[in-house]
């Protein structure tokens, strides 16, 4: 899937759409990619003269890739974080790097999903851990804001 196809499934849009492409294999494992260009909003102040992708952004990239494992079943929902567990940051990510994300669902209960995810650059692990998220109906989110 390319960026436009990804937009057909998840609600994220620029500048928060942080995936360039994702493929879901026959074992329901997602393989996502995002090339760090250097002009992203999150690098502007992190850190001047020495841009490093923030850990929370790495988690967000991983979460977006994870949510695509639900496929078309996600269209009427917004995936919301429920937890981040045992997340370990092994190396920094810089402009020019291409982040590759591998994610697999380990458990689910109703609209709750538990996923193991790993991000690598050039085959080296930069971040790995578990993410849980809930699918919240879009109309419920809109109603809760009134």
> What residue ranges define each of the domains in the chain, with the CATH number in brackets?
3-144 (3.10.129.10)
* pTM recorded for the entire structure: 0.94
- For residue 123, what are its two tokens? 């085959």
Look at residues 14, 33, 22 and name the one whose alpha carbon lies nearest to residue 121. Answer: 33
Reduced to 3 states (helix: H, G, I; strand: E, B; else coil), residue 49 is coil
pLDDT for res 105: 97
pLDDT at residue 39 in the model: 96
Report the Cα–Cα distance between both ends of the chain, in Å, rounded: 35
Active-site position among 12, 31, 46, 88: 46
* Rounded distance between C-alpha atoms, residue 4 and residue 21, angstroms: 9
Q: Is 46 a catalytic residue?
A: yes
pLDDT value of position 142: 76
pLDDT of residue 146: 67
């Amino acid at each position: 899937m390319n960026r436009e196809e990804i937009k057909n499934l998840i609600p994220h849009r620029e500048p928060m759409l942080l995936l360039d492409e994702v493929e879901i294999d026959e074992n329901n494992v997602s393989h996502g990619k995002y090339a760090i260009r250097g002009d992203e909003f999150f690098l502007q102040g992190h850190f001047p003269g020495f841009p490093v992708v923030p850990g929370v952004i790495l988690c967000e990239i991983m979460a977006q890739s994870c949510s695509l494992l639900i496929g078309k079943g996600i269209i009427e929902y917004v995936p919301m974080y429920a937890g981040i567990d045992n997340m370990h940051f092994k190396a920094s990510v810089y402009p020019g790097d291409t982040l590759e994300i591998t994610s697999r669902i380990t458990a689910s209960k109703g609209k709750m999903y538990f996923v193991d995810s790993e991000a690598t650059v050039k085959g080296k692990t930069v971040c790995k851990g578990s993410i849980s998220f809930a699918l919240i109906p879009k109309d419920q989110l809109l109603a809760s804001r009134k």
